[in-house]
A and B are shown apart, each in its own frame.
Chain A
């Protein structure tokens, strides 16, 4: 035991003498590794002739290293993130950011494996380096989004995540739908970014600081100017809502999901959405903290009440629209796009109660835990479902539900996995999707009051969603098809099988996972309350 500890300590000291500022940089090891990997991917074509596969492997290796090093750093210094570092005003590396980065890295590893299983063979030779640079660049942006604690940094991180995504959406250059998807994405992205930047400028004008915690702490003291404040925060919500694809900023989502290559769609469906949700969580949490998580006590038009209402309404609308629009979809990618809108809606519902969680001992954790758990489950559901979709597309060339007819006979393993994902999307036991939804309902019911409305909305949506998810199941199991049986790429089958098994494991092992999300559902200021009003921290804006 002691020896093990000694070894770890000695390992930890290796980095210290050589890298300046290591203690501060350490929590950001994942981002640093990713940047290194980008360079490595760019250099790969100089050494290997057929560079697509090689680049994929390099990216995969980089991601695995990033994941392991991040875990290692966390293991060595579990509380590093909660101590204020020199980065603190700009970037924080608190537990919630850490857990999101872990999820993100695991997910992107899954996406690359899926790429190997589905699209690798079709990719034009020589496109590999670009593709992976863009993918890793966006990943870096999404990792930073979870850490950003400063308006400028938020903007930078969001754009770093967005620009590569725009290009990725149109990556198959000869494909018309790709180009259309990409253009739509860019136009929407540009417009919402502009609104977001405007909102940020208003916030800066109001409070003279870019630091999120500082900004928030000054909010309750504001007399008058509530309207301006609401407009400013609304701008922020528009920018982030676009990334989440929450109603009414969702219009790009189905088209982009349908047009883009399937691994890009998969990547966007979880990574982009999740990062934006974590970012929004941080923003809202900062504001809620400033109001002592009790913003709903005042009149209905106070700033926190408006934010709560906006979030709740956005969540309810997203869930309802996502689920009802999915009814008529026949393309599996569009169907999953609307489903992803709905799931983001559920998570937004959970976020809205941050502003009323006053009576609870640890208000942040209720929302954060719920959303983190949902994201963890959602990751596996989506990765699995899209992998099956990719494999079926690769086999049949059909993206519509007709391609799934009789899948239970053509490839029983994939069909059973896909059915598991669909049931998990609905939230049926014995799959983890049940607990994801259960958590949200529990949190909402616990809060009570107006949040009962959201409970009802979510429950009605659950029933609605059953119908269209079951359409996929129906195609696979109830319809017959004369299409031939197929084996499916072994790697792809393995990925989807793993995802399905993970869903069952996470259901039975809910308790440890819940504990984990509870532990990591903490944010920077919860341990360091001095960051806000008491002592004006170093603001990079000065």
Chain B
């Protein structure tokens, strides 16, 4: 137990790397595939072991939980961040290799390992340079888990960048016809974002130097967010640049999310990426941005967040509406799903910007729900592409009669995506919208910060956001109609029904979509609500 508590997180991060090394030495295609699959499954099981060690019931401040060696338990109400493991990396700048887990990262980690297993199965029919593909894929998993688990800003940044490299190759080598363009575009956009983040990283650190108790400064994200350090930072002069830093940090994360107007890399990347990588990209990689917003941007610069709520609420609402409208206009099935990602991630940005407990909870849920749903959607697109070798919506139709099982799964995915009650997508959207309207209540964070002047703007933005739901329903239903219904087409008559492998991918995703929709508390909020409450206290 103690061992798990101390080392599980590190093991979790580096098991995929070891797997990648093993893959490179594996002989034969099947050996490579099974090694990779084995690695992802082991990682998934390890992440499930977090259910044993992670104590989500403890409610407390956003701080490190104290560990009682005598009882082998965490002291109740001492803090929500647990399983902390740290050692010095660069003493000169007080950079630490510091890992930990709380309600914010826990669901995302399980989502990552879960989707990676399915993406690995989805990769079974990759033929070209299989070894390199699997190695890069596993290396990518390391990078992503590293981002979610690191509690040191510096370490976070390093993993954030590391997760870039493999994706470039995965899109660039195994992608579609315009893969080179898509890959470099993805890389350039994200690098612009991380370059801004680098300024925030260094700037925040320099202000933290010389604060009481921190002669050497700190990159510790939990410490930097604590009330004392925040006060010290502001007194040390960060108040003057907090807004700039906040915008730079948000820019870095919004590019990753992606939000309008910095979203244009996403449709290209998605259309060109191979199906499993689209799954990873939509389900997990975008969440790095969302996670960064909640872990770094708002806790470190809460006041700037209050002042600039309108800017990012606007960005969120524009993303929701513009993304949905763009999706409606697409003729390429995959591009449509890509734009629907932009629209859905807009809810995450809106939820963060509105700064109410409900909206933040909703945004968190949205990330997981979107993770499950979008992975499923992209796989659905992949299945039909494997058979038809095109993704033109106009040429499709009548799949329901030739592939009934496939159609059933697809409709679950589509309905979850459009937010049908009872499926995952619904809860997130409703919570975010509910939270947005709550922000107009006189005791909300934003209303207090703006002396109530924000009321009409909040209401306007929230009402506009509601229309996003309608638009989503519109394009999703239209898509279902165009692809699955209508008269049976001769060219699709010979299509085989989904095979065993494809079912293996679709079934767990469908089950999760339903479970998250019916039992959101048991499958999500139970683990996160205490952390969100603790973080919310920092904002207020």
A residues contacting B by CB (< 8 A) are 408-409, 423, 426, 428-430, 434, 438, 441-442, 445-446, 455, 459, 462-463, 466-467, 470, 473-474, 477-478, 510-511, 514-515, 518
Instruction: Name, among A429, A463, A466, A511, the residue most crowded by chain B CB atoms within 10 Å (CB to CB).
Output: A429
Q: Mind listing 29 A-B residue pairs with CB under 8 Å? A: A408-B132, A426-B191, A428-B161, A428-B164, A429-B157, A429-B158, A429-B161, A429-B162, A430-B162, A434-B161, A438-B198, A438-B202, A441-B199, A441-B202, A445-B199, A445-B203, A446-B206, A459-B195, A459-B196, A462-B191, A463-B192, A463-B195, A466-B191, A477-B172, A477-B173, A510-B89, A511-B88, A511-B92, A518-B92
Quick one: given A442-B202, A477-B173, are A466 and B92 in contact (CB under 8 Å)?
Answer: no
B487 at the A interface (CB under 8 A): no
CB distance from A337 to the nearest CB of B (A): 23
Cβ of B165 under 8 Å from chain A = yes
Using Cβ atoms and an 8 Å threshold, which residues of chain A touch B168? 470, 473
A514/B191 in contact, CB under 8 A: no
B199 touches A470 (CB 8 A): no
* Contact between A511 and B187, CB atoms less than 8 A apart: no
CB contacts (< 8 Å) of A442 on chain B: these are 202, 206
Judge whether A463 and B158 touch: CB under 8 Å: no
User: Which 10 residue pairs are nearest across A and B when measured between Cβ atoms?
Assistant: A429-B158, A511-B90, A459-B195, A478-B172, A429-B161, A445-B202, A478-B180, A442-B202, A466-B191, A428-B161
- Which of A462, A467, A510 contacts B90, CB < 8 Å? A510
Q: Would A466 and B187 be within 8 Å (CB), given that A430-B162, A478-B179 are in contact? A: yes
Q: Does B188 contact A (CB under 8 A)?
A: yes
Docked pose: A25 CA to B164 CA in angstroms: 52
B534 within 8 A of A: no
**A200 vs B198: C-alpha distance when bound (angstroms):** 42
- Contact partner, A478, options B92, B173, B202, Cβ 8 Å: B173
Select which of A409, A423, A466 is within 8 A of B188 by beta carbon.
A466
Q: Is A428 in contact with B165, judged by CB distance below 8 angstroms?
A: yes
CB distance from B3 to the nearest CB of A (A): 24
Q: A478-B179, A478-B180, A511-B92 in contact; A462/B195 too (CB < 8 A)?
A: yes
Cβ–Cβ < 8 Å partners of A409 in chain B = 129
Known: A445-B202, A462-B191. A511 touches B89 (CB 8 A): yes
Q: B180 and A474: CB pair below 8 A?
A: yes
Compute how far the CA of A478 lies from the CA of B171 in the bound complex, rounded to whole angstroms.
10
Chain B contacts of A474 at CB under 8 A? 172, 180, 184
In the complex, per-residue mask of B172-187: 1 if CB is within 8 Å of any chain A CB, else 0: 1100000110011001
Residues of A contacting B456 in the complex (Cβ-Cβ under 8 angstroms):
none
Q: Are B188 and A463 in contact (CB under 8 A)?
A: yes
Q: Is B67 an interface residue (CB 8 A)?
A: no
CB of B169 closer than 8 Å to a CB of A: yes
Contacts of B191 in A (CB 8 A): 426, 462-463, 466
Q: Which A residues touch B129, using CB under 8 A?
A: 409
- Complex interface bits, B402-435 against A, C-beta within 8 A gives 1, otherwise 0: 0000000000000000000000000000000000
Identify which of B88, B89, B157, B184 gathers the most chain A CB atoms within 10 Å of its CB.
B184
* Residues A467 and B188 in contact in the complex (CB < 8 Å), given A459-B195, A474-B180, A478-B180: yes
What A residues does B173 contact at CB under 8 A?
A: 477-478
A143 to B202, CA, bound (A): 35
For B188, the chain A residues whose CB sits under 8 A away are: 463, 466-467
Q: How far is the CB of A315 from chain B (nearest CB, A)?
A: 18
A441-B198 in contact (CB<8A): yes
Interchain nearest-CB distance for B130 vs A (Å): 13
Chain A: CB-nearest residue to B189: A463
- B92 engages A514 (CB within 8 Å): yes
Within B128-183, the residues touching A (CB, 8 Å) are: 129, 132, 157-158, 161-162, 164-165, 168-169, 172-173, 179-180, 183
B180 to A, closest residue via Cβ: A478
Residues from chain B with a CB closer than 8 A to the CB of A514 are 90, 92
The A interface, classified by DSSP as helix, strand, loop or mixed, is: helix
How long is the Cα–Cα vector from A463 to B183 in the complex, in angstroms? 15
Interface status of B91 (Cβ within 8 A of chain A): yes
Q: Which residue of B lies closest to A442 (CB)?
A: B202
Residue of B nearest to A466 (CB): B191
- In the bound complex, CA of A373 to CA of B168 (Å): 29
> Are B164 and A459 neighbours in the complex by a CB distance under 8 Å?
no
The CA of A515 and the CA of B192, in the complex, are separated in Å by: 31
Asked whether A459 lies within 8 Å of B92 as measured between CB atoms, the reply is no
0/1 interface trace, chain B 181-222, chain A, CB 8 Å (1 if under): 001100110011001101100110010000000000000000
B90 and A477 form a contact (CB under 8 A): no
Beyond A455-B199, A463-B188, A474-B184, 16 additional pairs, beta carbon < 8 A: A409-B129, A423-B165, A441-B202, A442-B202, A445-B202, A445-B206, A459-B198, A470-B184, A474-B172, A477-B172, A478-B173, A478-B179, A478-B180, A511-B89, A511-B92, A515-B92
- In the docked arrangement, what's the CA distance between A473 and B164, Å? 14
* Chain B residues closer than 8 Å to A462, beta-carbon distance: 191, 195
Closest to A444 in B: B202
In the docked arrangement, what's the CA distance between A246 and B133, Å? Answer: 41
Smallest CB gap from B175: residue in A: A478
Please report the C-alpha to C-alpha distance between residue A251 and residue B195 in the assembled complex, in whole angstroms. Answer: 30
Tell me, in angstroms, the Cα distance from A445 to B201 when the chains sit together.
11
Q: Measured between C-beta atoms, what is the minimum distance from B186 to chain A in Å? A: 11
Contacts of B196 in A (CB 8 A): 459
A430 in contact with B89 (CB, 8 Å)? no
A442, B217: Cα distance in complex, Å: 13
Q: Which residues of A contact B172 (CB under 8 A)?
A: 474, 477-478
Collect the chain A residues with CB atoms within 8 Å of residue B184's CB: 467, 470, 474
Chain A nearest CB from B241 CB (Å) reads: 10
Q: Which one, A408, A459, A470, A510, contacts B187 given CB within 8 A?
A: A470
- Among residues of A, the one whose C-beta sits closest to the C-beta of B169 is A477
- Chain A residues with Cβ under 8 A from B157's Cβ? 429
Nearest Cβ in chain B — how far from A451, in angstroms?
13
Nearest A residue to B203, CB-CB: A445
- Find chain A residues with CB under 8 A from B164 CB: 428
A455 to B244, CA, bound (A): 15
Contact with A along B86-104 (1 / 0, CB 8 A): 0011111000000000000
Q: How far is the CA of A423 from the CA of B164 in the complex (A)?
A: 11
Contacts of B203 in A (CB 8 A): 445
Q: Closest Cβ of chain B: how far from A71's Cβ, in Å? A: 24
Given A459-B198, A478-B179, the answer on whether A430 and B158 have CB atoms closer than 8 Å is yes
Question: Can you name the residue of chain B whose Cβ is closest to the Cβ of A412?
Answer: B132
Do residues B183 and A478 form an inter-chain contact, with CB atoms below 8 A?
A: yes
- Tell me, rounded to whole Å, the shortest Cβ–Cβ distance linking B207 to chain A: 10
Whole-angstrom distance between the Cβ of A407 and the nearest chain B Cβ: 13
**B451-486 CB contact bits vs A (8 Å, 1 = yes)?**
000000000000000000000000000000000000
Closest to B209 in A: A446
A contact residues around B91 at 8 Å (CB): 511
Taking the nearest CB of chain B, how far is it from the CB of A529, in angstroms?
Answer: 26
User: Which residues of B have CB within 8 Å of A426?
Assistant: 191
Cα–Cα, bound, A434→B158 (Å): 9
Bound complex: CA of A473 vs CA of B195, how far in Å? Answer: 21
Q: Are A459 and B161 interface neighbours, CB within 8 A?
A: no
CA distance A471 to B376 in the complex (A): 34
Closest to A458 in B: B195
Closest to B171 in A: A478
Contacts of B90 in A (CB 8 A): 510-511, 514
- Bound-state CA distance A514–B173 (Å) is 37
**Which residue in chain A gives the minimum CB-CB distance to B158?**
A429
In whole angstroms, what is the CA distance A518 to B257 when docked? 40
Q: Cβ of B179: which chain A residues have Cβ within 8 Å of it?
A: 478
| Nearest Cβ on chain A to B248's Cβ, whole angstroms | 10
> In the docked arrangement, what's the CA distance between A1 and B161, Å?
46
Chain A residues, CB < 8 A from B132: 408
| Neighbouring A residues of B180 by C-beta, 8 Å | 474, 478
Residues of B within 8 A of A473 (CB): 168
Q: How far is the CA of A373 from the CA of B245 in the complex (A)?
A: 28
Complex Cα–Cα for A216 and B184 (A) = 49
Q: Which single residue of chain B is at the shortest CB-CB distance from A456?
A: B199
